[in-house]
Amino acid sequence: MADSYAIESILAADCGASTTRVFLLDMVDDQYRFVACGEAPTTIAAPGNDIVIGVIQAIRQLESITGKRFLDDELKLIRPERSDGSGVDAFVATVSAGPPLRVVLAGLVPEMSVASARKALTRVPTLLEGTIALGGDSDPTEQIDLIRQIAPDVVVMVGGTEGGAVQAIGALADAVALAGKLLERERRPELVYAGNVNARALLAEKVAGVINFHPVDNVRPRLDVEQVGPLVEELETLYADRKMARLPGFGRLSAWSPVSVVPGQRAFGQIVQFVADQYGLNVLGVDVGSSQTVLASVLNGEFVLTVGSGWGVGLGAARVLSDASASGVSRWVIGEDASENEVKSISLTKAIYPRSSAMAALGVEVEQALAREALRLTAERAMPAWETDTHRPYPDLAPFWDVIILSGGFLPRQANFAQSALVLLDALQPIGVCTLVVDTIGLTKVLGAVGAIQPMAAAQVLEHDALLTLGTLICPVGTAREGDTALRARLTYPDKQVLSLDVPYGSIEVIPLEAGRKATLELRPSRQFDIGWGRKGRGAVAEVDGGPLGIVIDARGRPLALPDGQDERRRVLQKWRWDIGY
């Protein structure tokens, strides 16, 4: 790795599924700061067929913005920075452009080891294409046909506690081995085994010479013990080898960097972990991209990464439409001309032209609806990983977060931050009192990579440039009759002015509080509502942060419900938009 003490200027590239951005970080008044950003389409598909072309185009735009030269006449990166100001000391990159691993899951007990393996799959860019199990309705011929027809990248096999039965696992291995023989060698999957260690030798013998065998620690060594970490690590390695490393131009991109190119979701998770560790908080990071949605969380010190592969607002729009259904997406759209067919057409067009920007109001509505459903689907994947305790007293709802970080290619670009906040509130339904911050320029992922070569640069840019505090969210849990008082709020501003209000159930109230200012907020919920201070009806006093949104009190209740009737649904959706301010 390059000498971190010699690094002052850094180019950090984020190669997304649709868009590539290159950020210049440099020393300003003895601190690392964000200077400028260049942007270009990602070029892994025809006619470019080389991921570096998009990076070069973004760097060229950056050169035009800054007046500095970063590439020589042969389009090679100038390193280190020269005395005339040309070049840069270091280059790092993150990549989210690779397709996910296609997986078939094979196991014995659906509610035990198979469930643990499913949890592992959510933490890596994977698409679960099929599941086979011993017994049940499927026979070996059907299992073989399923693997042969899907031709997955990986078969993940689990089953059996340590010291348990071996022969049942062997029967599954027979099906996998025969399916592999029926596939051309270049289409044969890898076999990752995370079951009873006593079956390893038998499985290795059965697939020898046919399929590459990757044994890892058992996901369920005992009935009361779950360990998905080793399986996650092996899947991450396979993702890097079989997907990222095979992207056209990836080798050239890697040669520019003194450290390994980092998957975008992992880099984003590293920043969420840093914020949580630095301030001792429970933090949720939300990244909505073109082809995937990522939730990175730290709850009670435990980090969990959840990847919604294929669910995005660009290339992933078609999969969101499929998995959430056209009616699921349409329910968030108000326009009277928004039939399900029209919503479907707009969504599929977005999947074909992911970098297009919606101009008509209906197009914007559909994009926001896709974001809601992508977030909702990903949150459903994350729920089983969040333990139920004092920070998550409601098993069907999200935990009490201290901070939510909002990022991604779609949400930060909204001109009105209220739109982004409402998407978040509708889709994730956060509870309690938390601070909402937004990554307005998409820096969080690349800072995870920058930290590998110059941690101080990552920390200083994160503190000064990357995150904007939008305000404070207050979301009581409970239900009541519409119009009944959900809570009473009393805000004391720094100049000692006081604002008091009663917040009715079913409404969203916004209290102005300027960015950079703090105020004292006294909250007294009614007996039906809990705001995270011990029990329903218990109030307290807290210091809250201001921002462009100020203080947003979401008194629509949890869980959130939409009316069934179309006219009433549209009326309620419009009211919520007016309430929050757009």
The CATH number of the domain where 185 resides is what? 3.40.50.280
Whether residue 322 lies inside any domain: the answer is: no
Task: Give the per-residue pLDDT at 335.
Answer: 80
Alpha carbon 161 to chain centroid distance? 32
Residue 46 lies in a domain: yes
Contacts of 225 (CB under 8 A, 6+ apart): none
Q: Please give the Cα distance from 106 to 371 (Å, whole number).
A: 32
- Is 134 a member of any domain? yes
Q: Which of 425, 419, 459 is nearest to 443 (CA)?
A: 459
- Within a domain: 53: yes
pLDDT computed for residue 139 by the predictor: 77
Task: Based on the fold, state whether residues 11 and 84 are members of the same structural domain.
Answer: yes
One domain for residues 112 and 75: no
- Residues 7, 81: Cα–Cα separation, whole Å: 9
Q: Report pLDDT for 136.
A: 55
Is residue 40, in this structure, part of any structural domain at all?
yes
Q: Are residues 212 and 171 both part of a single domain?
A: yes
Give the domain-ending residue among 224, 244, 264.
244
Count of residues for the chain?
A: 582
Q: Which of 466, 501, 529 is the last residue of a domain?
A: 466
d(CA 430, CA 556): 12
77 within some domain: yes
Distance CA 19, CA 66 (A): 20
**Could you give the C-alpha distances from 272 to 119, 284, 409, 428, 458, in angstroms and in order?**
20, 7, 17, 17, 12
What does each C-alpha distance from 482 to 97, 403, 503, 556 come to in angstroms? 46, 29, 11, 9
Listed in sequence order, the residues at least 6 apart from 54 whose beta carbon sits closer than 8 Å to its beta carbon are: 15, 20, 40, 41, 42, 43, 44, 48
Give CA separation, 492 vs 247, 257, 356, 495, in Å.
55, 51, 45, 8
Of 171, 182, 121, 192, nearest to 149 by C-alpha is 182
Q: Are residues 113 and 89 in the same domain?
A: no
The answer to whether residue 26 sits within a structural domain is yes
pLDDT in tens, the chain (582 residues): 455 448 999 999 999 999 999 999 999 999 999 999 999 999 998 888 999 999 999 999 999 999 999 999 999 999 999 999 999 999 999 999 989 999 999 988 777 889 999 999 999 999 999 998 875 556 788 889 999 999 999 999 998 778 777 888 888 899 999 999 999 999 999 999 999 999 999 999 999 999 999 999 999 998 888 999 999 999 999 999 999 999 999 999 999 999 999 999 999 999 999 999 999 999 999 999 999 999 999 999 999 999 999 999 999 999 999 999 999 999 999 987 778 899 999 999 999 998 887 778 888 899 999 999 999 999 999 998 898 888 899 999 999 999 999 998 665 454 578 999 999 999 999 999 999 999 988 999 999 999 999 999 999 999 999 999 999 999 999 999 988 999 999 999 988 999 999 999 999 999 999 988 889 999 999 999 999 888 899 998 989 989 999 999 999 999 998 998 888 999 999 999 999 987
Number of domains making up the chain: 2
Q: Which two tokens stand for residue 486?
A: 């959900």
Q: Check residue 339 and give its pLDDT.
A: 86
pTM higher than 0.95, yes or no?
no
Whether residues 62 and 149 share a domain: the answer is no
Q: Are residues 29 and 113 in the same domain?
A: no
Q: Is the dihedral of CA 526, 430, 560, 332 positive or negative?
A: positive
* Domain span at 447: 1-98+442-466
The CA radius of gyration of the chain, in Å to the nearest whole number, is 25
b/e sequence 457-495, b meaning 16+ C-beta within 10 Å = bbbbbbeebbbbbbbbbbbbbbbbeeeebbbebebebee
CATH number, domain at 74? 3.10.20.370
Q: Are residues 74 and 111 in the same domain?
A: no
254 alpha-carbon distance from chain centroid: 24
| Structural domain includes residue 119 | yes
Report which secondary-structure segment, H or E, holds 36: strand 31-41
Claim to verify: residue 6 and residue 127 sit in the same structural domain: no
Same domain, 54 and 135: no
User: What's the first-to-final CA gap in the chain, in angstroms?
Assistant: 48
Residue 42, CB half-sphere, CA atoms under 13 Å: how many?
Answer: 28
Do 121 and 206 lie in one domain? The reply is yes
CB neighbour list of residue 339: distance below 8 Å, 6 or more residues apart: 330
Question: Are 69 and 116 contained in the same domain?
Answer: no
Residue 107 C-alpha from the chain's centroid: 28
| Final residue in a domain of this structure, among 213, 244, 275 | 244
Are both 107 and 237 inside the same structural domain? yes
Whole-number pLDDT of residue 5: 45
Helix axis angle, 361-382 to 340-352, nearest 10°: 80
Determine contact, residues 156/190, Cβ cutoff 8 Å.
no
Residue 450: count other Cβ atoms within 10 Å of its Cβ. 31
